[in-house]
A and B are shown apart, each in its own frame.
Chain A
Amino acid sequence: MISLHGLTKVYPGGVCAVDELDLEIADGEFFALLGPSGCGKTTLLRTIAGLETPTSGTVGIGGADVTTTPPGRRDVAMVFQDYALFPHMDVTDNIAYPLRVKKTPKTERHAKAAATAARLSLSDMLTRRPGQLSGGQQQRVALARAIACHPKVFLFDEPLSNLDARLRLEARTFLKRLQRELAVTTVFVTHDQGEALALADRIAVMSGGRLMQVGTPTEIFQRPATPFVASFIGATPMNLLPGDVRGDVLHVAGAALPAPPGLTDGDHITYGVRPEYTDLSASPRDDAFPGTVAVMENLGTANLVTIEAGDTLIQAVVPEGDEPALGTAAWAVPRQARALVYTGDRLHAPIPA
């Protein structure tokens, strides 16, 4: 188990990368730190590794306080974004390096390296240098090196970002399966929400050194706690529209929608609905945002339609065959069961039914 309490990291120069952060990660969990670049996720990972010393707060691994323990004694293994495979060593020596540092005899460590390599189907390239390997193979060697020393915790820094798009999907499936089999607590950093949703048991969304939301992929996708999370999660950004409460009606971008209970007259709200949960109507409706069709983007099995309503843009995903013509009037209908209402930057509970 990894437990972080009141963790703060301020860099010389005053940049606060991690700000009073509390987090518990359970044994065997596959945990994602997700956020835009500069949100502090990598600093957090490096602090768990011991490569950064926190300004204040504590880091615990497996029940022991390791806040001041040097990285080599924390029993963690890290895979770096660039893999950090030593270019002057062949695959065997790279995988065996952690064992070499632990003074394991040469034959033993080479045997272990070979066994680990076999598990990751690297047996054919044991004598190659990293420069002679493809990106996917390099990534597996880096994983093998991390596995070979049987650590308590795996730390992955953007493990898939250096692979091309097709390979990334393959490697994603592979990584998830490997983690299940090894059942070792794993923390990984990513800026790709799709990767986080696909891989993780739980996700922490970070911004400005703070946790915005921690939860399962389903929770985070369906009930993002703040407009920031809402806009960050999802393949197409969520429609976030300003509106006002008047009585029990929400007035949002020309639509009149039923207000959820608990709101007071005159409140300003942000109305959120994903393009996937927005339908198009060709005829006027009160509960829809009126506008004209401005842009159409083909997504393959569907189309992403952008409706221009005055200054605001609203996007809807329309199934193939149902595309409206460009320039025509259209009404974007939010599916109210999936829509979210934010007041003062927090999700207003309960969600409207």
Chain B
Amino acid sequence: MSGDAAGLGRGRAAAFVLPALVLIGVFLVFPALWTIYLGLTDYRLTGLAAADPQVVGLDNYTTAIGDERFQGSLWLTVQFVIGSAIIGQAGLGFAIAWTMRDRRGPVRRVVEGLVLLSWILPGSVVAFLWIALLDRDGGTLNTLLGTPENAWLLDNPMLSIIVFNTWRGTAFSMMLYAAALENVPPSHLETARLAGASTFQQLRDVVLPRIKGHVLTNLLLISLWTFNDFTPFLLTAGGPEGRSEILPVYVYNVAIGDGQLGVGAAVSFLILAINLVFALAYLRLIRGRNRAEAPLQAPSGRGGG
């Protein structure tokens, strides 16, 4: 009702907001804008172009887009996002949330605790844990499967980082779906069960319509994060021979590794643009949901049986 409960006044309010805005402006907004400029130059980390960068227009973009390494990297990224985020994290996260929905007690706590732990442990630690797990000589997985000399990270680098990222990020989807499933009234599921619906039918007819918004939110966010995830660098550094060089790793290798800042910035800008699409879709989604809270929907009755 009131515009100013504490009697702050415009001046003081501005003084409160300003420091945060300055910091965000300098270290978040400005770099984003600068990416655009840098992407138009032949800027390099060292050498002649470092001292006196020239504007080269869209050369970096055409070079990058025409580059087979970039195209390959883009394709690997698509595999990475679909495999580890959409199928891996969301699928596994939902499966765990669904099986755990009525459970209380130690089993649920242990499962959730482990899944959460894999999410909160620092990236460099989990990366090494997986290096140890997948190591050719004496790694735990080879010992367990009886497949010595199987160099997972070298032979199947993409599969390795996809499984790794599934393991790493399932917690978020699990928690989001667990929260979403709490919003499905038990009476709706019971009504469907009394009507003789199978588990699949319950999921399709009762659960999915109610958690549609959550599913979309989840898919958008984890896709965005996975798309930007740098942690696989710690496992494979993009190798061997670029076979796991997803875009974040590609940018690092090109810009900081090879010192081609201009090309790196151009690819960064492409990443920014793709991020923007994800983020806009997400914001539209949550705004739309705030405007019209999904009305209570009766489960589709299928004849009293």
Contacts and interface: CB of A to CB of B under 8 A. Distances in A.
Contacts of A52: 2
Contacts of B3: 12
A15 to B, nearest CB: 10
A56 to B, nearest CB: 18
A70 B7 contact: yes
B30 to A, nearest CB: 34
B88 to A, nearest CB: 43
Nearest to B3: A12
Interface in B1-30: 2-3, 5, 7
Interface residues of A, number: 6
A2 B7 CA distance: 23
Contacts, number: 7
A89 interface: no
A304 B287 CA distance: 50
A51 B7 CA distance: 8
A46 B1 CA distance: 11
A12 B3 CA distance: 9
Interface string A12-28: 10000000000000000
A282 to B, nearest CB: 50
Contacts of B5: 51
A70 to B, nearest CB: 6
Nearest to B7: A70
Contacts of B7: 70-71
Most buried by B among A12, A51, A70, A71: A51
A348 B2 CA distance: 40
Interface string A319-351: 000000000000000000000000000000000
Nearest to A51: B2
Interface in B83-142: none
A18 B3 CA distance: 17
A123 to B, nearest CB: 32
A46 B4 CA distance: 13
Contacts of A12: 3
Interface string B219-256: 00000000000000000000000000000000000000
A71 B2 CA distance: 14
A45 to B, nearest CB: 12
Nearest to B5: A51
Interface in A1-43: 12
Interface in B144-193: none
A70 B6 CA distance: 11
A234 B247 CA distance: 74
7 contacts: A12-B3, A46-B2, A51-B2, A51-B5, A52-B2, A70-B7, A71-B7
State the 7 A-B residue pairs at the shortest beta-carbon distance, nearest first: A51-B2, A70-B7, A52-B2, A12-B3, A71-B7, A46-B2, A51-B5
